[in-house]
Amino acid sequence: MKISITKKQYLGFASVVAMLILWQLLAMYFDSDVIVPSPGKTLITAIGLFNDPDFISVVGTTIIRGLAGFVISAFLGMLLGIIAGLSSGFNALLQPFLVTVRSVPVIALILLALIWFTPGSVPVFIALLTMFPFICTNVIDGIRSVDPDIIVMAKFYRISRSRIISEVYIPAIMPFIISGASSAMGIGWRAIIIGEVLSQPRYGIGTMMQAEQTFLNVDAVIAWTIIAVLISYCFEKVIRWSEHKIVTWRD
Amino acid sequence: MRSNLFILIFILLVCSACGGHGKRSHERKFLTIASLKGPSSMGIIRFIDSVYNDSAKNIKISIQDEPIQVRKMILDGSADFALLPSNMAAILYNMGFDYRLAAIPVWGTLYLFGGDTSVKSWEDLRNKRVYAMARGMTPDVLFRFLLEKNGLDPDRDIILDYSFPTHLNLSNAVAAGKADLAVLSEPQVSLVMKRNKNVHRIFDLNSEWNKVQGFPIAQTAFIVREDLLRNDPGLAERIISACERSVRWVNSYPDSAAVLIVKYNILPDAEVAVSAIPGSNMNFVRARGIREEIEKYFAVFYKMNPDIIGRKMPDENFYY
């Protein structure tokens, strides 16, 4: 067990190194900071960003937008998902809506949101619409995965509906929610940043990326990108960690 | 495992070596002029017309919708001449792209306009909501500067709204009556005024700027590739002076110019073009004589955000 983890880590490390080498080669090939800046220069720029007095506001605002979108979509997704999982009639009603929301191009949503909402709330709205279907669909699948015999048995012993939900359904759908949340977060961050680039709120990673792109500071665009990736990675870790906790709790 | 990594690196090296001859040499049979769909192209419209009618076909004019498309043609070196916002020209020069500023052909096309009839002075703007395009971009910075100079704090005394980030979004919002006050440039101003008769110009930001700075807004740059200026200055001069003559002609004969502007699809109709020509402050002035004035303009940006001009003032070699 221990050996396989170190091997995994080694492979992960090798893959990061390979990406950096590829990046360095591209930088050397183009030999221009305004096309592909070198990893070293970008790292210096990224460190410089941390010293920017606005850094906390910029990153904090983007994270708050992400969390707001996530909390709202998790709440709606679980609520509607549980109802739809239990009632096939409601599920039939909900499915076309989910399919529509999932297949509308993100950019179309953003263009409409730009007309409907203030710049700061556009990214939240986009995040909500991109994350909600993932969580909802996974909750529905989770509910359906519950062995119907257990429910029949529980009902036979006259166990209350609320106890069935909290002791049978919720533990059963937890892994589904976690995996839904993980995919939702991955897509959600990207959607938020696209939303910020186009809506130009006062603070936001996307706002900064757009400005740096205009000023041809390619290293700063990449540095902000790396920060966005790191945020996404941290949240992924948090979700995985909470999954671990929940699984241990269940055992 | 380790050998796999080496194989990967080897493949990458081979790939990059194969791509090596992709670096272009600048041996081309024709000259390329990159321009913007707007006042930049309106001014040189007679030159554009003469190029299209010329049988030799040794000049190619590429009219782009957005400044970043023109910028791309500088980044990859495909443009020999380009018209683009002057701050963008300064950024490119400061980043080491060998282009020099030959002239300033457009001098401020920005207007505060809209359907709000109550605004007569700067003070009337207090606590009003004014829509501007992208934050931190030229129109925004210029407007903020004028607000400050006229005793208004851009962040406190007025609500600057960036809900409509592109000139198309903002034009539509003003035309639809969703934005009562907006900072926008020609020819969008004339286009919107044609669609919505309740909308009118409130301030000519160019003349307001002139009042404060004693010199109009050096908005658009006409830049030329350095090696062309060095290797064939005669050819470069012929094209620069053809553009200069074109701008003069457009100002003298706006009705004939309007016909050409519609013909080359710069604007949809002649009526709008006739209104937009005087509003666009086109005047082709060679850069070498006005370095000080251009620097004064750049200094405004530099003070607000050095990044807007590429973190430093362009040196004297920028001015041709």
Q: Do A25 and B12 touch (CB under 8 A)?
A: yes
Q: Which chain A residues have a beta carbon less than 8 Å from that of B95?
A: 33-34, 216
**Residue among A235, A207, A233 at smallest CA distance from A221:** A207
Residues 6+ apart with CB under 8 A from B150: B122, B123, B208
Check residue A251 and give its pLDDT. 52
Reported as a single tens digit per residue, the pLDDT across A81-109 is: 989 988 889 999 999 999 999 899 988 98
Whether residue A76 has pLDDT greater than 90 = yes
Digit-coded pLDDT (tens) for A112-135:
888 788 878 899 999 999 999 999
Residues A1-45 have pLDDT tens digits of: 455 567 888 898 999 999 999 999 999 998 888 889 999 999 999
Asked if A216 lies within 8 A of B95 by C-beta distance, the reply is yes
Chain A residue numbers touching B165 (CB-CB < 8 A):
114, 198-200
Strands in B200-204's sheet, in edge-to-edge order, are: B159-161, B129-131, B181-185, B110-114, B200-204
In which residue ranges of chain B is CATH 3.40.190.10 found?
2-107+218-318, 114-213
Give dist(CA B108, CA B138) in Å, integer: 11
pLDDT at position B21: 39
Query: What is the model's pLDDT at position B136?
Result: 74
Rounded CA-CA distance B253/A210 in Å is 40
Arithmetic mean of pLDDT, A39-65: 92
Average pLDDT, chain A: 88
Residue A136 neighbours by CB distance under 10 Å? 28
Phi first, then psi, for residue B110 (nearest 5°) are: -90, 140
**Hey, are the CB atoms on B5 and A119 less than 8 Å from each other?**
no
**Please, what is the end-to-end C-alpha distance for chain A in angstroms?**
20
What pLDDT is recorded for position B33? 96
**Average pLDDT score over residue span A187-192:** 91
Look at residue A174 and tell me whether its pLDDT is greater than 90: no
Task: Determine the Cα–Cα distance for residues B130 and B116; give it in Å rounded to an integer.
Answer: 10
pLDDT at position A200 over 90: no
Predicted local confidence at residue A158, as pLDDT: 85
Beta strands B59-64 and B31-36, pairing class: parallel
Write out pLDDT tens, residues B104-140: 999 999 999 999 989 999 999 999 999 998 777 778 8
Where chain B has pLDDT below 50, the residues are 1, 14-26
Q: State mean pLDDT over A130-143.
A: 92
Contact with chain A for residue B75, Cβ under 8 A: yes
Do B8 and A18 lie within an 8 Å CB cutoff?
A: yes
List the alpha helices (DSSP H) in B181-287: 188-195, 205-213, 226-231, 233-252, 254-263, 270-279
List Cβ neighbours of B29 (8 Å cut-off, separation of 6 or more). Answer: B58
The pLDDT > 90 percentage for chain A reads 50
- Unique residue bearing structure tokens 């979509």: A73
Q: Which residues of B touch A119 (CB under 8 A)?
A: 162-163
What is the DSSP annotation of B79-137? -SEEEEEHHHHHHHHHTT--EEEEEEEE---EEEEES-TT--SGGGGTT-EEE-SSTTS
pLDDT exceeds 50 at position A48: yes
CATH number of B114-213: 3.40.190.10
| CB of B186 closer than 8 Å to CB of B273 | no
| Average confidence (pLDDT) over A151-177 | 84
Q: What is the ipTM of this complex?
A: 0.73
With CB atoms and an 8 Å threshold, state whether A29 touches B308.
Answer: no
**Buried-state track B84-108, b at ≥16 Cβ within 10 A, e below 16:** bbbbbbbbbbbbebbbbbbbbbbbb
d(CA A11, CA A17): 10
Task: Note the helical H segments in A104-217.
Answer: 106-116, 122-145, 148-156, 161-164, 170-199, 205-214
Say which range, A56-70, A231-245, B3-17, B95-109, has the weakest mean pLDDT.
Answer: B3-17
Query: Strands B81-85 and B220-225: what pairing?
Result: antiparallel
Binary contact (A119, B92; C-beta < 8 A): no
Closest-CA distance of chain A to residue B91, Å: 7
Q: Residue B56 is encoded by which pair of tokens? A: 């030799």
Ramachandran angles phi, psi of B275, nearest 5°:
-75, -35
pLDDT tier at A163, thresholds 50, 70, 90 = confident
User: What is the pLDDT at residue B23?
Assistant: 40
Spell out the residues 6+ positions from residue A219 whose beta carbon is closer than 8 angstroms to its own. Answer: A33, A37, A41, A42, A45
Distance, CA of B294 to CA of B222 (rounded, Å) = 13
Distance to chain B for A150, nearest Cα, Å? 48
Q: Taking Cα atoms as reference points, which of A52, A34, A40, A81 lies closest to residue A180?
A: A81
Per the CB < 8 Å rule, is A119 touching B163? yes
Domain B2-107+218-318 has CATH 3.30.300.30: no
Residue A21 contacts residue B7 (beta carbons within 8 Å): no
